[in-house]
């Protein structure tokens, strides 16, 4: 069959149009991270202050071995020290990281948060924002 399109003549042979296509190969590097999440305890506080908040991050790892950096950032603008984790166990799927924040004085009310930042090579990921409501009595 002869097909003319845009001034070009193509010959289409019967049966060739049904050949399976080879999937495109992605040369994009695989992310070394799975899910990166952050939780806080307590999520709501009312009582005598100061209160000590515990932030717990979970970093999913998909490449072994690997090295990654992480730090926490708070709603008051403070940034934690950059730390390094080396993952050598090929069975490790999730790495836990922690941060604590103590704040508050009688009569104050806050809504504060922290985020977790992780990086390995050119991959950078930010966790969810773990928020807590604090009422100091």
- Tokens at 19, concatenated: 């050949």
* Rounded Cα gap, residues 2 and 9, in angstroms: 7
- Domain architecture of the chain: domains with CATH: 32-136 (2.60.40.3880)
* Rounded Cα gap, residues 29 and 49, in angstroms: 47
Closest CA to 106 of 44, 54, 47: 47
Question: Hey, CA dihedral for 31, 33, 37, 38, is it positive or negative?
Answer: negative
Please tell me the pTM assigned to this model.
Answer: 0.77
| pLDDT band (50, 70, 90) for residue 3 | very low
* Rounded Cα gap, residues 26 and 110, in angstroms: 47
Whether the predicted pLDDT of 129 surpasses 90? yes
Q: Mean pLDDT of all residues in the chain?
A: 86
Which H helix or E strand runs over 6? none
Does residue 64 or residue 29 have the better pLDDT? 64
């Amino acid at each position: 069959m002869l097909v003319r399109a845009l001034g070009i003549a193509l010959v289409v042979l019967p049966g060739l149009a049904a050949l399976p296509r080879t999937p495109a190969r992605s040369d994009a590097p695989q992310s070394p991270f799975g899910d990166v999440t952050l939780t806080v305890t307590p999520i709501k506080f009312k009582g005598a202050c100061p209160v000590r908040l515990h932030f717990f991050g979970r970093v999913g790892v998909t490449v072994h071995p690997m090295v990654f950096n992480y730090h926490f950032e708070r709603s008051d603008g403070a940034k934690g020290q950059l730390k390094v984790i080396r993952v050598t166990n090929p069975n490790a799927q999730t790495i836990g990281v922690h941060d604590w924040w103590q704040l508050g004085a009688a009569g104050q009310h806050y809504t504060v948060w922290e985020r977790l930042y992780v990086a390995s090579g050119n991959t950078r990921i930010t966790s969810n924002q773990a928020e807590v409501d604090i009422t100091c009595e």
